[in-house]
Amino acid sequence: MATRSKSSQRWLKEHHSDPFVKKARAEGLRSRAAYKLEELVQRDRLLKPGMVVVDLGAAPGGWSQWVRQALGDSGRVIALDILEMPSLAGVEFLHGDFREDAVLSELVRTLDGKPVDLVLSDMAPNKSGVDAVDMPRALYLAELAMDFADHHLRVDGTFLIKLFQGVGFDDYVRELRRRYAKVAIRKPEASRKRSPEVYALAQGKRAEMK
């Protein structure tokens, strides 16, 4: 059996001692990432009964699970991921690659012409460890998510997306500011300190870009 690298051993040790991992297990949540979303949503009161929410890059389902619980029996939660995701009561799951037109078309069909109130994107590419490869991949997914929000998020709706600080980050945020009345960059407490990830919260989608 292959031995784990020191970095992988360190990650496992940190993961199992992580208070958010322990809390997620105790509360029956699929992922510690749910606490990132909880902090972001509650701070700005992003959820309202009856909302239509689309969760891009949803697996293993931590965000969709939390949103479904928070909305109760109202609204719709539509989740999409290239990875399989065990079913969640009250969550509509589409399995496929968001980069493919056929998968996007299926998502549009599922919406059945209804505008989306909140688009969530926790998408990230499989990491190679090489920034020159990983950043463009992550940025491409972020651009696809922004394009989806351009076409399907209602006017005055909200877009929350994970971004990685690096090449292209400032330009992306600048594009968000053209599209939304208010854009804030947040680093939730549950986000690991050494991670370059941050979350862009874009509120008040404009009827027309600036």
Position 127 scores a pLDDT of 77
Rounded average pLDDT over 18-42: 66
Domain ranges of the chain: 31-205
Rounded average pLDDT over 57-77: 94
* Interval 108-136: pLDDT, tens: 999 999 999 999 999 988 777 777 788 89
Position 10 scores a pLDDT of 53
CA 187/CA 164 separation, integer angstroms: 11
Q: What is the 3-state secondary structure (H, E, C) of 125-177?
A: CCCCCCHHHHHHHHHHHHHHHHHHHHHHEEEEEEEEEEEECCCCHHHHHHHHH
The answer to whether residue 127 is catalytic is: no
Better-scored residue on pLDDT, 33 or 164: 164
pLDDT of 151 above 80: yes
Position 183 scores a pLDDT of 98
CA 175/CA 194 separation, integer angstroms: 26
Do residues 177 and 142 touch, judged by C-beta distance below 8 A?
no
Position 120 scores a pLDDT of 97
Q: How confident is the model at residue 141 (pLDDT cuts 50, 70, 90)?
A: very high
Rounded average pLDDT over 12-32: 52
The model carries a pTM of 0.85
Which are the contacts of 167, defined by CB distance < 8 A and separation ≥ 6?
131, 135, 136, 139
Rounded average pLDDT over 34-52: 91
Overall size of the chain counted in residues = 210
Rounded average pLDDT over 161-169: 93
Catalytic residue, chosen from 13, 22, 162, 193, is 162
Sign of CA dihedral 29, 33, 37, 43: positive
Per DSSP, 40 falls in state H
Domain 31-205 has CATH 3.80.30.20: no
Rounded average pLDDT over 149-169: 95
Position 36 scores a pLDDT of 85
Q: How confident is the model at residue 20 (pLDDT cuts 50, 70, 90)?
A: very low
Q: How confident is the model at residue 2 (pLDDT cuts 50, 70, 90)?
A: very low
pLDDT of 150 above 50: yes
Rounded average pLDDT over 69-94: 95
Annotated binding site for S-adenosyl-L-methionine: 61, 63, 81, 97, 122
